[in-house]
Structure 1
Amino acid sequence: MNFYPGPSKVYPQVKDWLNEAYDDGILSIQHRSQKFMQIYESIVKNLQKKHNIPKNYTIIFTSSATECWHILNDNFGNDTFSKINSYHFYNGAFGKKWFEYRKANYPKTSFGIEFDINEGINEKLEDKFFQQIPQNDYLPNIICLCQNETSNATQISQKTLSEIRQNRQNDFIFVDATSSWGGQNLNFSDADAWFVSVQKCFGLPAGLGIMALSPNLIDFYQNEIQNKSNNDKPTRYNQLSFLLEKANQFQTTYTPNVLGIYLLSKVMEFVPNISVTSQKLEKRATDLYDFLEENGYKILIDNKTVRSQTVLAIELNEPKLSFLKQKAKENNIILGNGYGKWKQNTFRIANFPQHTDEEIEILKEFLVAYASA
């Protein structure tokens, strides 16, 4: 049983879907073929239907969420957009990496705002920090957020995301939803760029990313390119104009991970509406947090309002941490290591849709057995 927060357990149906892909010749289809475009289109329709993504948002496939950083960085930071500032709010390793990646390329227009893991970004709103960021109709800012910070198991609530959207209607909001899209009921209208990797809440092997872009962001990009560039012919495979052109045809700019895209189409056919999944995971997370505390485990995050619903981080000092992980391995249970500054004193538990209640109960029995070891 794999409770690592990504790559994590895959849906058991993947085994059958792999055989189907082989038998149906999916592994050999061309990415310009009608069959591939049908698979792509089916995913888009199911994302709209089951994950409530607005129909006017454009879905683009990438190799990973990290590549989405690169695409957004490359297309909204070059000479055409050189005066746009980006503001990165972060409290953990992944948000910080995103900021550092952007700053390395655009040091004069990239700003990082770090907040405490138990504070939550709500405090920054109450301090009216966002109001201190210049805002006008002609030169929007980019606000970058990790909705679910996997390194420390915190999240930004949907309510807070909506408040940010209301406060910054002239700016563009980019959201890393790597550990939440597919597991939480997100309001995609609250941001302009969302991205995810499928090895977490989609229950699939690593190697595929998804990005959703708002029409406002796309219109702004296309207008700026048209006004400031004499030639918008694609020169790079991940140039946004090229990505959009192909996405509108249900194609990609490069030969993609066709198998991964096919498996995603099967998952999207299989899973229920996100409201059902989100409600289940939220309840299970609450039960898990209560269970852990009742059995003497210390949750890394004290503030319950910012605890993640899909990744739990438990604080444990050496040598007990190494002992617990070793015993878990002996019981065929994979616990997630800590990450970043919490690598040496935490372990993490994934609470993803593909994890069954029966597996959670087995995990609980194990944790009870070694709670006082």
Structure 2
Amino acid sequence: MKLKLALIYDNECPKLLPTAYSQTYRDMFLALHAPFEQTSHYVKDCSAKDIDADVIVIFDIHSSHHIEIEGLAKHPAVKYTYFNDPHQQEFTGRYIKGPEVHKLGAEQRTHRAIDRGVNFIICPYQEGYYEHIAPHIGPDADDMLFWFPPAPSHKRFPLRLLPLERRRHKILGNGILHGGNGAYDFREWAYSQPETFYMKHAMERPAVPKGIEYGKLLCSFAASLALCDWYVVPKYQEIPLSGCVTFAQYQMDYRDMGFRDCQNCFFVTKENYRDRALAFLNSREDDVYYQKVATEGRKLIETKWTAECFAEALYQHACNQIQRINTLTQGVEL
């Protein structure tokens, strides 16, 4: 018999709404339903006694949903919680055009997870986890990490098989530039280069496609830039999944995902960007080499790193944990 899932989340979280400019986290949330026999939802204070589930996932991306569930720590289900932005500091304020929010900092969110009896922390960024979260966990930090990068659904990219020769032969630069924390310094530089076809982000220019339509935008370009000084943010997965040639800023997580320079992506720096960009822009639109790089990148995401892959990986992980617990319990009884 398949496992039962309980999802605990904020149904007003901007990242989970159909109107969100980025649909990746919503993709992951929705995909979680498929592998399980049934899914129950909890958005308000309740008692753990009311939760009929083998697996509990607290899908609270920024630790800003302050739901109280009495007795949660003692519930026998395998419990996961999602931590995006592990560097996050405590913040009270308001989302842009959104509700008021109180986000917990790294230490607070970690202690709350432990108090809730959470077994595993789903974190999309390994380096960020070990720098900001692990110190508050201690020796169990390795065992508690369930790493999976931001994972878009292939369903949002129906045109991903469109060959490069039928796309705009340009390198798209489209992403947030603000932040003030250094995460997008290289991105800002690259977007200003003449080789880049820069398009303002949807948060700065509402007419730019976002959400579900963003996939169609990516699929209309032959290449695009995945750039962040810190993490493999959603663009690192969305761009190759769309069938684009991916020009990426190097990240350890990208390497661990299986991305290799000149095979399924191109790693770029300030020193080599112009040469690599011009080599692509001056190539034939039906160039076999660049098509192969794009295809290999797409296939890697399709087979290992989509939202559907995330859901299956978590389901299998939970099955393994339950089997291990049952084996240990039987051993004690014997």
Q: TM-score when scaled to structure 1? A: 0.30
Structure with bigger helix share is 1
- TM-score, normalised on structure 2? 0.33
Q: Which has the higher contact order (CA 8 A, sep 6+)?
A: 1
